[in-house]
Amino acid sequence: MQREHNIIIDLSKCTGCGKCADDCPDRVLTVTEQGAEYSGQFCVKCGHCVAICPQGAVSISGYDDDPEVIETCNKIEPNALLGLMKARRSMRQFIKKEIPPDVIRQIIEVGRYTPTGGNKQGVSYVVIRENKDKIEKIAVSLLRKAQPQLSKMIPYMKNLIIDDNFLFKGASTVILIKSVDALDGALAASTMELMAQSLGLGVLYSGFFIRAIRQSDELKQLLSVEKEEDVVAALVLGYPAVEYIRTAQRESANVIYM
């Protein structure tokens, strides 16, 4: 986390029910005769205490927004979620239509609320729009030069035609996900893709773009990739030019029950 956050307990609201202390994973909360008390020891600021308090007596400083009350309508219908996952396709054909800024903000908001290990909140995003053509041109040039070598590791690569739209397929927007922890970034990318699909967008994970960034100091500088950050995923986003009418098959899950 980039900011300092502190646990604040409003004793005028606290009833001493103990729910915050019982649910605290770091065991830094106790209940006294006066009410809940924060020890000040190491705490990841996960927010469980804020979320569980019936009276709203616990808060965490340093955030721009307030907690929201969880409504029953926020529950996801399981079959609808499964259906969305089964229906998703990697989209490589897009119509020429810009994505409204509010839609992009919704997608990033889902990434912001995706869990991170130890509540690090170390995931950041680069929205590529105005400079998309310039950035794609640099990355495509690198891939063309690397194609002979890449073909030795990726057999189908030798048959690919790397044209000027090879990476972004004419889509209007690309969101680059960066993170100090690769797993945190990957989780954010996955939930962001789900949100994009629910908003009617097509999505492509551009692995070749990630490969180009990792090999290019110029791209890292353009995309503000810090030394401690890993470029985890690139979501190519746009409105689909095609519609798929059935799901694609998958092999049975390889599961061991212990």
Domain shared by 56 and 116, yes or no: no
**CA angle in degrees (0–180, nearest 5) for 119-121-125:** 160
Cα(248)–Cα(64) distance, rounded to whole angstroms? 42
Half-sphere exposure (Cβ direction) of 238: Cα atoms closer than 13 Å: 24
Q: Which of 171, 178, 231 is nearest to 201 (CA)?
A: 171
Q: Which of 219, 199, 222 is nearest to 211 (CA)?
A: 219
Q: What angle, 0 to 180 degrees and rounded to 10, lies between the N-to-C axes of helices 182-198 and 78-87?
A: 100
Task: With respect to residue 142, please indicate whether it lies within any of the assigned structural domains.
Answer: yes
Could you read off the pLDDT of 45-57 as tens digits, one per residue? 888 999 999 999 9
Domain shared by 106 and 219, yes or no: yes
Task: With respect to residue 89, please indicate whether it lies within any of the assigned structural domains.
Answer: yes
Domain shared by 170 and 98, yes or no: yes
Length of the chain: 258
Mean pLDDT check: name the lowest of 49-53, 61-65, 202-206, 219-223.
Answer: 61-65
Task: With respect to residue 256, please indicate whether it lies within any of the assigned structural domains.
Answer: no
Question: Within 10 Å of residue 4's Cβ, how many Cβ atoms?
Answer: 8
- Structural domain span for residue 198: 78-238
Domain shared by 212 and 96, yes or no: yes
Domain shared by 53 and 176, yes or no: no
The percentage of the chain sitting over the pLDDT mark of 90, rounded to a whole number, equals 71
Question: Within 10 Å of residue 119's Cβ, how many Cβ atoms?
Answer: 15
Could you read off the pLDDT of 144-193 as tens digits, one per residue? 998 888 888 888 887 888 999 999 999 999 999 999 999 999 999 999 99
User: What is the model's pLDDT at position 214?
Assistant: 93
Number of domains within the chain: 2
Task: Give every CB contact of residue 256 below 8 A, 6+ residues apart in sequence.
Answer: none
Q: What angle, 0 to 180 degrees and rounded to 10, lies between the N-to-C axes of helices 101-112 and 182-198?
A: 140
Task: With respect to residue 100, please indicate whether it lies within any of the assigned structural domains.
Answer: yes
The percentage of the chain sitting over the pLDDT mark of 70, rounded to a whole number, equals 98
Task: With respect to residue 52, please indicate whether it lies within any of the assigned structural domains.
Answer: yes
